Amino acid sequence: MEGFFGRILHIDLTNRKSWVQTVSEDYLKKYIGGVSLATRLAYENTPRGADPLGPENALCFAASAFAGTLVPVGGKHAVAAKSPLTGFIGDCLASSYFSQSLRRAGYDGIVITGACDKLSYVFVDDDVVTFHDAEHLRGMHTFDTEEAIRAELGDDAVRVSTIGLAGEKLVRFANITNDRGRQAGRTGLGAVMGSKKLKALAIRGSKPITVADPQKLTEKALALSKQAKGPKTEKYRILGTPSNVLNMNRLGVLPTRNYQSGVFEAAEKVSGEYMLEHHVEKAVSCAGCPIACEHITSVRDGDYAGARTSIDYESLFAVGPNCGVDYFPAIIKAIETCDMYGMDTMSTGVTVSWAMECYQRGILTKEDFGGLEPVWGNHAAVVKLIEMIAKREGIGDLLAEGTKRAAAKVGKGSAHFAMNVKGLETAGYDARGFQTFALGCAVGTRGPCHNRSLAYEPDAKGEVDRLKAEPARGKIAKECEEFAALFDMTMLCKFIRGCFKDAWAEIAELFTLTTGLEVSAEDLKLAAERCWNLKKAFNIREGWSRADDWLPGRWLHDPLPEGASKGAVVKPDDLKMMIDAYYAARGWTPEGMIPKAKLIELGLEDIAEDVGV
């Protein structure tokens, strides 16, 4: 088999055992790789009703056939498990060299079950799996842990996926970090790893990665690399995703002060342009990427001197405008703090902003915050609260549970502005001004995710009337989800998507040249639909109902007060109408369940038996 190894490594932490499962070409052709394969593994290896923080929750890693080949931006891996934040599927992506090492070790995926009896790390060294004490790494920051394990194993080429203190403390939005700052960031999979007392997974691989048609693949890959250095990716190369700040502010959808507004009066001071002028050290790239969107920023002087991190828009909005912070050095410090402790910046920022609004409204007091005064823009309080969350200190213990659980505990109407869907905190676009995205947020299988849905694109690009709800958005949202799944299965970075004329056909060709498996654009479309249904089936098995596909009260009842989206709101009847249209476009029942016939049509016969209606 070219391109794939046909091998899934299973690691049982409880019994300190490992074994290899062989999977067929047909299986790999069906699930393609990445998020799709990782979700399939999670479905197969996690029992119905498993406690997300219990040993039975399978933590599943999967790469794609492109990792380690010349195909540009293919160096990502996926991680999937039942999310401790949502109770549904948590599927994440992270970039860089870890995926190559996973494949060079001779595996397409890794399934980790059970739990260690004390903090440990696992070292996968080609065919040999060993278990190591990690008590001496307890509390260590993510980047330091990577270095410490490399030093301990005596090889700089070892790649490490690790958790920080937040994962150890079971912060429900803890992440998993690899390659000094690439994160499987959302849905709290770092807490799953922490619950298994697994500090890190280290991998070294020495096997060759072969492809089916080296000559043709090289030609195609080089042509794509050339495209990726051209105008279609210029925005990412020059400013990175922080270029969105001024654009979203102009459209009136830049989340500000916990989504109380879509306009931030100091947007210029937190813009990508400001960042480039004052804080960017250099642009760097993930493994095999000619785009290099990642901008390393630092603070040279002042109260946060020495802080250093890479910044993207989603992190920036969450700890910046959404907390009323207009001081760029503090934004760098806040993101660096999240990265070191291993926490999702988006959930962290949105949870902190919820707490700040509770303070604004007198629901939480100075005493609740241990003497802090978290007024909007108090960046020192924001940075301190982030630390307290990671350590579960004081009010940090409550906030470490995420907005849904924290609001349920605090009450007093705070759930109205707890900005989450299914428990996952919302992304950096105010859905009131992006109605297609509003639908995408409501129905998203892992929660309100711009990355899994891409439904903000037709709104932001003006392809539809962004302030209008209509039934046609159901089909559009479905197509956006499946286009995103194309990249999430093949593990190509979405920032290259503008470089294709026909992404389905061109990626199918790359896949065939890599694996030797004949795959057409139509096959990939079916696989993308299968991937989405698989995630939905996972959720149904865990008790999903139509009521879970809904939006926070603020988006449904509080019109945006100012700016280019002034007056916009997601009317509940409009949302219901769009959800009906979406379920119909998917071929689901009006309750959002998947008919058996649909699952059988997608080749998911076993799942049809489990959850089909």
To ligand SF4, the closest distance from the beta carbon of 76 in angstroms equals 7
Tally of CB atoms within 10 A around 394? 17
To ligand SF4, the closest distance from the beta carbon of 243 in angstroms equals 13
Q: Which is nearer to ligand SF4, 199 or 237 (CB)?
A: 237
To ligand SF4, the closest distance from the beta carbon of 183 in angstroms equals 11
To ligand SF4, the closest distance from the beta carbon of 327 in angstroms equals 26
Q: What is the DSSP-derived secondary structure letter of residue 550?
A: -
If binding is defined by CB under 6 A, does position 455 make contact with ligand SF4? no
Q: Which is nearer to ligand SF4, 7 or 494 (CB)?
A: 494
Which of 27, 32, 24, 28 shows the shortest CA–CA distance to 74? 32
* Residue whose token pair is 């056909």: 505
Across 187-279, the runs of DSSP E, i.e. the strands, are 198-204
Note whether 91 and 78 are within 8 A (CB).
yes
**CA 122 vs CA 16, 18, 82, 195, 199: distances in Å:** 9, 11, 21, 15, 8
Q: Six-digit token pair at 75?
A: 């160096």
Applying CB under 6 A, the span of 54-62, 290-298, 480-488, 567-575 interacting with ligand SF4 comes to: 290-298
Of the candidate residues 289, 332, 340, 406, the single one contacting ligand SF4 (CB under 6 A): 289
The amino acid at residue 181 is: G
If binding is defined by CB under 6 A, does position 487 make contact with ligand SF4? no
If binding is defined by CB under 6 A, does position 67 make contact with ligand SF4? no
Decide: helix, strand or coil at residue 325: coil
* C-alpha to C-alpha distance for 426 and 396, rounded to whole angstroms: 20
* C-alpha to C-alpha distance for 482 and 452, rounded to whole angstroms: 9
Which of 515, 604, 607, 486 shows the shortest CA–CA distance to 6? 515
Of the candidate residues 39, 45, 57, 95, the single one contacting ligand SF4 (CB under 6 A): 95
The answer for residues whose C-beta is within 8 angstroms of residue 379's C-beta and 6 or more apart is 323, 325, 327, 330, 331, 333, 334
To ligand SF4, the closest distance from the beta carbon of 284 in angstroms equals 7
If binding is defined by CB under 6 A, does position 579 make contact with ligand SF4? no
To ligand SF4, the closest distance from the beta carbon of 229 in angstroms equals 11
Q: Which is nearer to ligand SF4, 359 or 511 (CB)?
A: 511
Of the candidate residues 36, 45, 64, 285, the single one contacting ligand SF4 (CB under 6 A): 285
Note whether 349 and 319 are within 8 A (CB).
yes
The amino acid at residue 385 is: L
To ligand SF4, the closest distance from the beta carbon of 74 in angstroms equals 9
Which of 330, 332, 276 shows the shortest CA–CA distance to 308? 332
Q: Which is nearer to ligand SF4, 179 or 430 (CB)?
A: 179
If binding is defined by CB under 6 A, does position 296 make contact with ligand SF4? no
If binding is defined by CB under 6 A, does position 280 make contact with ligand SF4? no
Of the candidate residues 73, 209, 372, 460, the single one contacting ligand SF4 (CB under 6 A): 73
If binding is defined by CB under 6 A, does position 534 make contact with ligand SF4? no
If binding is defined by CB under 6 A, does position 236 make contact with ligand SF4? yes
To ligand SF4, the closest distance from the beta carbon of 290 in angstroms equals 8
To ligand SF4, the closest distance from the beta carbon of 419 in angstroms equals 25
If binding is defined by CB under 6 A, does position 266 make contact with ligand SF4? no
Applying CB under 6 A, the span of 61-69, 166-174, 283-291, 445-453 interacting with ligand SF4 comes to: 283-291
If binding is defined by CB under 6 A, does position 582 make contact with ligand SF4? no
If binding is defined by CB under 6 A, does position 23 make contact with ligand SF4? no
Note whether 509 and 486 are within 8 A (CB).
no
To ligand SF4, the closest distance from the beta carbon of 66 in angstroms equals 11
Q: Which is nearer to ligand SF4, 240 or 324 (CB)?
A: 240
Q: Which is nearer to ligand SF4, 27 or 500 (CB)?
A: 500
* C-alpha to C-alpha distance for 373 and 391, rounded to whole angstroms: 19
To ligand SF4, the closest distance from the beta carbon of 275 in angstroms equals 15
Tally of CB atoms within 10 A around 373? 11
If binding is defined by CB under 6 A, does position 495 make contact with ligand SF4? yes
* Stated length of the chain: 613
Q: Which is nearer to ligand SF4, 88 or 487 (CB)?
A: 487
Which of 416, 415, 412, 450 shows the shortest CA–CA distance to 431? 450
Of the candidate residues 8, 291, 338, 442, the single one contacting ligand SF4 (CB under 6 A): 291
Of the candidate residues 94, 293, 480, 489, the single one contacting ligand SF4 (CB under 6 A): 293
* C-alpha to C-alpha distance for 484 and 492, rounded to whole angstroms: 10
Which of 164, 180, 34, 153 shows the shortest CA–CA distance to 96? 180
Decide: helix, strand or coil at residue 144: helix
If binding is defined by CB under 6 A, does position 297 make contact with ligand SF4? no
Decide: helix, strand or coil at residue 327: coil
Note whether 37 and 23 are within 8 A (CB).
no
* C-alpha to C-alpha distance for 124 and 510, rounded to whole angstroms: 29
| 413 phi, psi to nearest 5 deg | 80, 5
To ligand SF4, the closest distance from the beta carbon of 346 in angstroms equals 16
To ligand SF4, the closest distance from the beta carbon of 447 in angstroms equals 21
* C-alpha to C-alpha distance for 600 and 280, rounded to whole angstroms: 51
Applying CB under 6 A, the span of 114-122, 281-289, 331-339, 559-567 interacting with ligand SF4 comes to: 281-289
| Count of residues that bind ligand SF4 according to CB under 6 A | 12
Of the candidate residues 192, 253, 286, 372, the single one contacting ligand SF4 (CB under 6 A): 286
Contacting positions for ligand SF4 (CB under 6 A):
73, 95, 236, 285-286, 289, 291-294, 493, 495
